[in-house]
Amino acid sequence: MATTFSVILPLYKQVAHAEHLYNTYVQNLDTLTDSWELLFIVNGVDDGAVAKLNSLNTRANVKVLWLEKGGWGRAVKFGLAQATGKYLCYTNSARTEIADLILILNYAKVNNDNVVKATRIIREKMIRKVGSTLYNLQCRILYKVSIWDVNGTPKVIPQKIYHDLDISSDDDLIDAEIMIKCAHKGVRIIEIPVVSTTRISGSSTTNFLSAYKMYAGLLRFKKML
- For CA atoms 17, 118, 161, 215, give the dihedral sign: negative
CA distance 105 to 59: 20
SS3 66: strand
Beta bridge partners of 9: 40
C-alpha torsion 123→124→125→130, nearest 10: 0
Segment 124-133, tens digit of pLDDT: 677 777 788 8
Segment 68-103, tens digit of pLDDT: 998 999 999 999 999 999 999 999 999 899 999 999
Overall number of domains in the chain: 1
* pTM: predicted TM-score of the whole model, two decimal places: 0.92
Residue 128's alpha-carbon distances to 1, 97, 112, in angstroms, are: 43, 19, 33
Q: Which CATH number goes with the domain that contains 211?
A: 3.90.550.10
Residue 211 has φ and ψ, to the nearest 5°, of: -65, -45
Q: Which domain holds residue 54?
A: 5-223
Segment 6-49, tens digit of pLDDT: 999 999 999 999 999 999 999 999 999 999 999 999 999 899 99
